[in-house]
Amino acid sequence: MTEQEQFALLESVSENTTIFDAYEKAFAVLEDDRARTVCASVSGGADSDLIVDMVTKIRPDAKFVWFNTSMEYEATERHLGYLENRYGIKIERVRANYPVPLAVKKFGYPFLAKMVSEYISRLQRHNFDWSDRPYEELLTDFPNCKSSLKWWCNEKGENSRFGIDRWKYLKEFMIENPPTFPISAGCCKGAKKDTAHDFQKSQKANLIVTGERKSEGGARAGTSSCFTGAYDNGSAVFRPIFWLKDSDKEEYERIFDIRHSECYWGYGLRRTGCVGCPFGRNWEHEIEVAKQYEPRLYRACTSVFAPSYEYTRAYWKFRKHKEAEAKGYEQLSLFD
């Protein structure tokens, strides 16, 4: 991009300093001589639409890639075609090393949240007995599960991110209903992370561009910078829209006339990605949407994630019951 074009572009976003700063940083990082091979990951979601828009303006020679976990909306695939036409790019479709149905069989099922699944998985690997005993006593019986036992016993204090009581009544539920199927966060690693890593390596990409935003929370909240790693060892990761809040994103969409996937404006979803992933807060709603618009996917996710769905529903039912019970006691004692 010529200096004049850069200036015109910055001028078009100058009213919004967050977008302006994001573009300035993007020019600096993407046009850096060390950024020899740029690889932008496209999910087909709203944030990745902004990434495609930004990167094609600054580095039209970048490689664009979409990882197919096999649980993707057909609408997402159609949207990739739209992006290719609009921006004159080719988005490479790469099949996951372990497509989700295989990944859950090999590693275990996602349940509630990544961290929860990770701890449960470790406990399951050591044949934990799901008993309510003091930490020291459990550690004697299961000496290789220190961090997971700390989670199980809430050793990090009340409401810590690393304690089971972050999920109300989950411990009580699991004591009464020990899981009878393998739980794990490995599905994401097998279907997404490792696949992305292998692809980037095969392309000799030394700058990876992703669409994470800090305000989205979750694992992203733990990262504090839009740029991490180093060009030299191929680990540089750049997140051009990291600091954009929802309102900035909306403004960006307006300025550059961004059109998102049908998943948003047609199906009314708030996120795309793997349909009905049990880690998603709204998987019940997502599978209802899939039933209506993409019945093949509905059949797939209700079959692939069946044990996890059943266990999750049982947990929420148990929790609601306990909460109602606790409320009843409260009212009763107030009345007394």
* Positions that interact with ligand SF4 (CB under 6 A): 69, 71, 100, 110, 187-188, 191-192, 273-274, 277, 279
The string over 292-305, giving b where at least 16 C-beta atoms fall within 10 Å of a residue's C-beta and e elsewhere, is ebbeebbebbeebb
Nearest 10 degrees: Cα torsion 74, 76, 81, 84 = -160
Single-letter amino acid code for the residue at 269: L
Residue with Cβ nearer ligand SF4 (22 or 112): 112
The first and second tokens of residue 1, run together, are: 């991009």
Single-letter amino acid code for the residue at 282: N
Separation between Cα atoms, residue 274 and residue 78, nearest integer Å = 15
Separation between Cα atoms, residue 141 and residue 129, nearest integer Å = 10
The angle subtended at Cα 156 by Cα 159 and Cα 128, nearest 5°, is 100
Q: What is the DSSP string of 59-128?
A: -TT-EEEEEE-S---HHHHHHHHHHHHHHT--EEEEE-SS-HHHHHHHH-B--S-HHHHHHHHHHHHTT-
Single-letter amino acid code for the residue at 143: P
SS3 readout for 136-171: HHHHHHCCCCHHHHHHHCCCCCCCCCCCHHHCCCHH
Separation between Cα atoms, residue 129 and residue 123, nearest integer Å = 9
Instruction: Tell how far CA 273 is from the center of its chain.
Output: 8
- Output the CA–CA distances (angstroms, integers) from residue 199 to 224, 230, 237, in the order listed: 26, 18, 15
Q: Is the dihedral of CA 102, 106, 111, 116 positive or negative?
A: negative
